[in-house]
Amino acid sequence: MSARRLVPILVAALALASSAHAAPLHSISRYVANADPSRWYDLGCALGNAVTAGTRPKDALVILAFGDPAASGGSYGAHLFDGSFRTTAQLRAVAQQYGYGYWVCSPYDSELQIVLGTTNHGTHVGYAHGAAWARMVNATNDYFAANCCIAGQVSALGGIDAELDWNAPAVTIPWANGYDSANAWSYIEFGDAAGCPPVGSCNGGWTYADIWSIAWGIAPALPLPQIYNERGTQAAQWENIDLWGIASKGIKMGFRGSLAQHQACVDRSDPCPGTGNTADQGWTQLRDALNSRASTALTPRWSTDISWRN
Amino acid sequence: MRLFWISAVIAGAGTLLAGGGGTAPGQGPFAEKAALEAHAAAVQAFARAQGFLTAKPTDPAAVRPRALRPEPSPEGIVELPSPFPAHEYLLQPTGWQQGTGSRRLTVYPGALGTERDRGVLLVVTTTADERDVESYPAPFRNGALQLVAATGDVLTLRDETGRTLSFDVSARRFMP
C-alpha cells in the first residue's frame, strides 16, 4: 500500500482513538431493601476496599435507590423495596454509614458521590416531598463535613428515577421544584425517556421540554440516564433531547454518566432480553451517541450498574 | 457567600457546567447549577486540607455501628416501589407481601411494558442468596391489574374494564 493511501487511514484511526476513551470502571448502585446502617457501613467499607484493590473506580458514583416517595405520621420518607416505610432520618443514617464505611476503608485519593435516590412512582410524589428530600441531602453532607474528614472524599447528592410512564410531568416536576426550593446540593436524574424519538412520541404526556427540565433545566438537575437497551435506543433518545435543548435553549446537557441494570438481571436470573446492557456497553453507547455530533460531544464521568443485593 | 460563587461562575466556569464544552449563560438556573458544583468543590477542598492532618481508623470493625435488631418486612397489602423499568413492567404502587422466616414473597400487579393491554402479576421470591421472578400474564387482555383485596394468600384483582379475578399465590394460578 502506498504512503499516499496510508495517510488518510492513519488520520482516521488517530481521530477515532482520540475520541474513543475506554469505559471507566463502574460502581454498583443498589435498590435498598435493608435499612440497617451497620449493613451499609459494611457495604461502604467493601467498596473502599475494592477501590484499594483496583476493581472499583477511584472516582465513583453510587445510587442508593430508596424507592417511592412516602409520608407517614407527619414524616416524609420512602417505601423501600421490602415494602417498609423509612423516614428521611432513617434513610440519612443509611447514607451516612455507607459514606463513613467507604471513608474508613478507601485510599485518601479516592472520591465517592452517594446519590440518595427516590422515584416519581406512586401517590406521594410532589413539591413538599422534594423539599424534604433536599433537606435530607443537606443534612447528610453536614454530617460528612462535621465528622472529619469524610467530606474530603464523600458527598451526597439527591436523586430521582423519573420514568415517563409512572407519573405525569404535572406531578413530577413539582417534586424537582420542591427540591430546588431547599437544596444546597445537586440531584441526579436517573430515569428514562420512554417512547421518545427515534422510537415514537414520548410516553405519559411528557414533552422534550419537560424531560429536559427535570434532567437539566432545573438548577440542581444533573442527568445520568438509564441506558439499558442493547440496541442503543435510549442513548439515541437522550442525544435527541440534548439536540432539542441546544436548538431551543442554547445550551447542551451535561451528562454525568450512565446507569445499567445488568447486575439486577443477574441477581434475579433474568436474561432481560434486549435491556441487559453491561455498564461498559451502556456508557459506551451514551458516549458514542453524544460524540456523534460536535455540538453534543462529551465524555461522561461515571458508569454505574444497579443490583438488588444488600 | 452565594454571590461570591455566582460571580466566580460568571467569570468563566462554563467547563464546570457541561463537563467541558458547555456554554454557560450568566444568570438563572445555569449560574445556580454551576454555583452548586463550585460549592461542592469548595467543601471537598476544605475537608481534604483537614484530612491530611487526620489519620483514618486502622481497624474498620472497631468503628462499625452496632447492628439493629432485624425487623420483619410488612405483610399483606403494602405500598411497593418498582424495581423494574416501566418499559418492561408497568407496575401499580400497591402489591402484596408475605414473609416466612428469611424468605419473602412479593406480588406486584400491573401490565407488561410492551403490551399495555396485557395485565400481569409478578411473583418475586427473595432470600439472602436468591431472587426469583415469576411472571403470570392475566387470562384476558383487559389492561393493567390492580390489587383490590387479599384473603389469606388469595388476591382479588381488578382489570381496566372493571372485571374482577382472583389469584391463588400458593398455587400460582388465576381462578375464575
Q: Which of A31, A52, A119, A166 to mutate to test the interface with B (most CBs of B within 10 A)?
A: A166
Average pLDDT (A35-45) is 98
- Taking an 8 Å cut-off on Cβ atoms, the answer to whether A256 and B19 are in contact is yes
Q: Give A26's contacts (C-beta < 8 A, 6+ positions apart).
A: A56, A57, A260, A279, A280, A283, A303, A304, A305
pLDDT digits (tens, 9 = 90+) for A189-210: 999 999 999 999 999 999 999 9
Using CB atoms, which residue from B48, B79, B85 is nearest to A226? B85
Residue B108: give the domain boundaries.
Answer: 76-175
Give me the CATH code for the A26-307 domain, please. 3.20.20
Same domain, B58 and B80: no
**Chain A nearest C-alpha distance from B166 (Å):** 22
3-state SS class at B48: helix
Q: Residue B69 domain-assigned?
A: no
A-B contacts (CB, under 8 Å): 190
Residue A137 has pLDDT above 60, yes or no: yes
Residues of B in contact with A45 (CB under 8 A): 60, 64
Of B36, B62, B88, the residue at which a domain comes to its end is B62
pLDDT at res. B26: 59
Same domain, B83 and B115: yes
Same domain, B115 and B161: yes
Look over chain A and give the mean of its residue pLDDT values, rounded to a whole number. 94
pLDDT digits (tens, 9 = 90+) for B29-40: 899 999 999 999
Look over chain B and give the mean of its residue pLDDT values, rounded to a whole number. 86
Residue A88 has pLDDT above 60, yes or no: yes
Same domain, B81 and B129: yes
User: Angle B121-B123-B127 (CA atoms, 0-180°, nearest 5)?
Assistant: 165
At residue A270 the predicted structure's pLDDT band, cuts being 50, 70 and 90, is confident
What is this model's ipTM?
0.87
Residue A76 has pLDDT above 70, yes or no: yes
A177 touches chain B (CB under 8 A): no
β pairing state of A302-307 and A187-189: unpaired
Same domain, B130 and B48: no
A212 touches chain B (CB under 8 A): no
- Choose among A155, A61, A150, A71: nearest CA to A108: A150
pLDDT at res. B27: 67
Residues of B in contact with A105 (CB under 8 A): 60
Q: Are A91 and A136 in contact (CB under 8 A)?
A: yes
Same domain, B159 and B83: yes
Q: Residue B158 domain-assigned?
A: yes
**Torsion sign across C-alpha atoms B134, B138, B144, B148:** negative
The pTM assigned to this predicted structure is 0.90
Return the C-alpha torsion angle A81, A87, A89, A90, nearest 10: -40
Residue A19 has pLDDT above 70, yes or no: no
- Taking an 8 Å cut-off on Cβ atoms, the answer to whether A149 and B132 are in contact is no
Same domain, B142 and B95: yes
Same domain, B57 and B80: no
Of B31, B62, B93, the residue at which a domain comes to its end is B62
A239 touches chain B (CB under 8 A): no
pLDDT at res. B13: 41
CB atoms within 10 A of CB B25: 14
- Taking an 8 Å cut-off on Cβ atoms, the answer to whether A300 and B19 are in contact is yes
Q: Residue B68 domain-assigned?
A: no
Same domain, B37 and B86: no
- Taking an 8 Å cut-off on Cβ atoms, the answer to whether A145 and B106 are in contact is no
Give, in order, the Cα–Cα distances in Å from A173 to each of A133, A170, A236, A284, B128. 14, 6, 23, 29, 37
Number of domains forming the structure of chain B: 2
**Chain A nearest C-alpha distance from B139 (Å):** 23
Residue ranges of domains in chain A: 26-307
- Choose among B65, B68, B110, B62: nearest CA to B89: B110
For A50, how many CA atoms within 13 A lie in the half-sphere containing its CB? 18
Q: Residue B71 domain-assigned?
A: no
At residue B19 the predicted structure's pLDDT band, cuts being 50, 70 and 90, is very low
- Choose among A276, A278, A268: nearest CA to A305: A278
pLDDT digits (tens, 9 = 90+) for B59-103: 999 999 999 998 889 999 999 999 999 999 999 999 999 998 889
